[in-house]
Structure 1
Amino acid sequence: MAERPVKIAAGNVDVFYGDKHAINQLSISIPDRAVSAFIGPSGCGKSTFLRSLNRMNDTIPSCRVTGSIVIDGENIYDSKLDVVQLRARVGMVFQKPNPFPKAIYENVAYGPRIHGMARSKAELDVIVENSLRKAGLWEEVKDRLTHSGTSLSGGQQQRLCIARAIAVNPEVILMDEPCSALDPIATARIEELIDELRQNYCIVIVTHSMQQAARVSQLTAFFHLGTLVEYGDTDEMFTAPQEKRTQDYITGRFG
């Protein structure tokens, strides 16, 4: 773990929804260019914490976050921080594919266009093609870029959403159970893609599947009842966990 520089450092993070204490004093250092998987039973706080990494929780009026979350030395909860810029740097891929009801091309071009990343149509074309290539979708859609993104299969739609996220040059990609709505073949394709993308991005994935965590991640964090129980090397976590609660969850004694 030591050889990878830290990308995200969270210190004593608490998250509240009204009176509900969803995350309790969570501290974690997440390295760059690696996949960190968050596992744990439903309602344990893994998605809540994931959403706090790009301030998606801001959209929930009752939500309050305390503590510090620092990305590359910058506290993302600083009141002066531009949240729109933050969400370009920290992309998000959701559980259910959610392409815009627009052309495939426009789905990918939307972010670069609003962020002023292309000076011409030709530059935008290059960004769109490169993003679709990185998402492993270019060969399948290059002849139908004007077709609606919603006309694609579920697995293709999810890859389109990944292309849309990487089109704005993010540094971090958050994935909230990105394969839970997909069939096994589409899931395998997304997992291969995650493995390719980790060469260039810090990736954090929430998954309900321990098998998926074991396949795609280098590091795994186990959450239980709003606390981070254990975080470390994935292979070690699954073969020799430090904590009894982790052991019980992995061996199916609870969950």
Structure 2
Amino acid sequence: MNKKDGNVGVTPGIAKISTRNVNVYYGDKQAINDVSIDVDRENVTAFIGPSGCGKSTFLRSLNRMNDTVAGARVEGQILLDGEDIYASGMDVVQLRARVGMVFQKPNPFPKSIYDNVAYGPRIHGLASGKAELDQIVESSLTRAGLWTEVKDRLSESGTALSGGQQQRLCIARAIAVDPEVILMDEPCSALDPIATARIEELIHDLRGKYAIIIVTHNMQQAARVSQRTAFFHLGHLIEFGETSDIFTNPREDRTKDYITGRYG
């Protein structure tokens, strides 16, 4: 965000995630420039912008996934409920349980459907016994809109499911550890239109239960699933606001040019 943009992503109210003057670097290359944004729990937030604009890089900084990239570093402040997630005492494993991630390509573990969902609750000690674990698995698969399709085949491999089912399994796996935030990095880009529609319905159903942020190249999808939209360009946050305003009455010429297809 350049000086002219000001605190374009800062909104009044209580934010689930707040970032202030965040910069992300890969070695000497700066990918994110001075981004400040507030994300609340009540609305689905979409990050849009052309390829290479930094939206996925910024998303991954919100649960420290960039820690796994050699040479990556994050400057500035990222707060989850007011707590700095880059503080030296932060437990990154617990952070990623609180801030789950669903990736572009479905990535179920090479385990049974049941064990895919049960994995997180097991390692975090969230179930006191088999009956409670069974309930978590059923509840998570139900919330992910998958229970009725797989309840009689829980012992089968998660990798045997269709692409759309695998993505919903990954969402079930994410919510099984009772997260507060779900990050989705282009979760439908590898899916057919029917599977995409199911994921979009699921996002609508999960709204308000979790703070949800979705990165998408599909502007129609952003318009369908989100209530707030952030437009990124060349590593800068250009505009952030109500989705309806961004798509019908953007304040910035760069946003208007992207929305109307003049570049991107």
* 2:216 counterpart of 1:207: yes
* 2:107 counterpart of 1:91: no
* 2:49 counterpart of 1:40: yes
For residues 212 and 12 of structure 2, what CA distance do their matches in structure 1 show? 16
- Which letter does structure 2 place at the counterpart of 1:189? R
Q: How does 1:218-237 map to 2 (within 5 A)?
A: 218-237=227-246
* 2:13 counterpart of 1:14: no
Verify the 8 A CA contact 1:13 1:68 in the aligned structure 2: yes
For residues 11 and 69 of structure 2, what CA distance do their matches in structure 1 show? 36
TM-fit CA distance, 1:21: 0.4
- Which letter does structure 2 place at the counterpart of 1:204? I
TM-fit CA distance, 1:171: 0.2
Query: Partner of 1:122: helix, strand, or coil?
Result: helix
Q: Equivalent residue for 1:166?
A: 175
Q: Equivalent residue for 2:90?
A: 81
Q: Equivalent residue for 1:62?
A: 71
Give TM-score, length-normalised by structure 1: 0.98
For residues 241 and 19 of structure 1, what CA distance do their matches in structure 2 show? 33
* 2:255 counterpart of 1:246: yes
Query: Partner of 1:105: helix, strand, or coil?
Result: helix
For residues 21 and 70 of structure 2, what CA distance do their matches in structure 1 show? 22
- Of 157-166 and 32-41, more deviation after overlay is shown by 32-41
TM-fit CA distance, 1:5: 3.1
For residues 30 and 246 of structure 1, what CA distance do their matches in structure 2 show? 20
Verify the 8 A CA contact 1:94 1:176 in the aligned structure 2: yes
Q: Give unpaired runs (5+ residues) of structure 2.
A: 1-9
RMSD: 1.1
Verify the 8 A CA contact 1:4 1:32 in the aligned structure 2: no
For residues 158 and 119 of structure 1, what CA distance do their matches in structure 2 show? 28
Verify the 8 A CA contact 1:5 1:32 in the aligned structure 2: no
- Which letter does structure 1 place at the counterpart of 2:261? G
For residues 143 and 224 of structure 2, what CA distance do their matches in structure 1 show? 20
Large movers: runs of 4+ above 6 Å: 1-4
For residues 75 and 106 of structure 2, what CA distance do their matches in structure 1 show? 30
TM-fit CA distance, 1:199: 2.4
For residues 34 and 105 of structure 1, what CA distance do their matches in structure 2 show? 30
Verify the 8 A CA contact 1:9 1:69 in the aligned structure 2: yes
- Which letter does structure 1 place at the counterpart of 2:100? G
Task: Work out which of the residue numbers 104, 109, 120 in structure 2 matches 1:111.
Answer: 120
* 2:121 counterpart of 1:130: no
TM-fit CA distance, 1:2: 7.1
Counting aligned pairs with the same residue, the percent is 74
For residues 181 and 133 of structure 2, what CA distance do their matches in structure 1 show? 22
- Which letter does structure 2 place at the counterpart of 1:91? G
Verify the 8 A CA contact 1:34 1:201 in the aligned structure 2: no
TM-fit CA distance, 1:4: 6.3
Q: Equivalent residue for 1:146?
A: 155
For residues 197 and 11 of structure 1, what CA distance do their matches in structure 2 show? 27
Q: How many residues align?
A: 255
Query: Partner of 1:241: helix, strand, or coil?
Result: coil
Q: Equivalent residue for 2:3?
A: none
For residues 14 and 4 of structure 1, what CA distance do their matches in structure 2 show? 24
For residues 66 and 24 of structure 2, what CA distance do their matches in structure 1 show? 9
Give TM-score, length-normalised by structure 2: 0.95
